[in-house]
Amino acid sequence: MIEPEMKERYEKLRAILKEMGSVVIGFSGGVDSTFLSYTAHDVLGDQALAVTAVSPTLPESEERDARDMAASIGIRHLVVHSTEFSDPEFVKNPKNRCYICKKIRFTALVNLAKQEGFHWVVDGGNVDDLGDFRPGMKALEEMADAVRSPMIEAGITKADIRALSQELGLRTWNKQSAACLASRIPYGVELTPQRLSMIDKAEQYIAPYITGSLRVRYHGDVARIEVREDEIPAILAHRKDIVQALRRCGFTYVSLDLGGYEMGSLNEVIETDEEDK
């Protein structure tokens, strides 16, 4: 059951998109961008274009999901290759890594929008994103003359997106969050396609054993597995197979974080640094 206030926010989103006239959407195939793309396509038809940026930071499964979801929605969809690895600063993996990546990707989207004759580039940010450490948001703010976050403008929350997605029949309504693979590597540790591939393969192997969120954090020779606390027994039940598989991926040691899955756990170093100042 959709509450009146939620429906009102959704109608506001639709009005914002209609006013925009035509949009290019940064599309990952996740919960937020799928909901936004569905709504934009419903409101604008062919004047909505979904674009997925592919690079070593994107899990293979997410690229497949993006293609499948775009086809399911019926929206025009382009897959482009992102160039963040050509930037030495991004490769260094600084704390503002997401800012660098977002700036590169959305600059490319703005250029594409101009070439294709679209008025705006839009991203899938929602109001919950405003309270987290997200340096990528700064990049979007700097490009406000060409890039907008219509769900933030409409006051839509993550809970709204999931509830409305379920109401609309989008199978992503209960999809787990899937941050880019670079988020598994501690800041300051160089990003390489090989390391990201190790992580992707490791997560692909473990994923069938669980139903919730999963992260394989990279710590050199050590893979640190994070799952929900209630799914730790499932990992332990397949311990030997998982260890052997992750060694084949290139890791020497395999650890299980007894604290359980924590979104953005590698950001703790930033919080610690701020407290020390």
CB 217 within 8 A of CB 256: no
For the record, the structure tokens of 253 come out as 């040691």
Active-site residue among 98, 101, 180, 249? Answer: 180
Nearby residues of 219 by Cβ (< 8 Å), 6 or more positions away: 186
Nearest CA-CA partner of 126 in 141, 137, 135 = 137
DSSP result, the chain = ---HHHHHHHHHHHHHHHHH--EEEE--SSHHHHHHHHHHHHHHGGGEEEEEEESTTS-HHHHHHHHHHHHHHT-EEEEEE--GGG-HHHHT--TTHHHHHHHHHHHHHHHHHHHHT-SEEE----GGGGGS--THHHHHHHTTTTEE-HHHHTT--HHHHHHHHHHHT-GGGGPPP---GGGGS-TTSPP-HHHHHHHHHHHHHHGGG-SS-EEEEEETTEEEEEE-GGGHHHHHHTHHHHHHHHHHHT-SEEEE-TT---TTGGGHHHHHHHHH-
Other C-beta atoms lying within 10 Å of the C-beta of residue 186: 12
101 is an active site residue: no
Distance from C-alpha of 103 to C-alpha of 45, rounded to nearest angstrom: 27
**Catalytic residue list:** 180
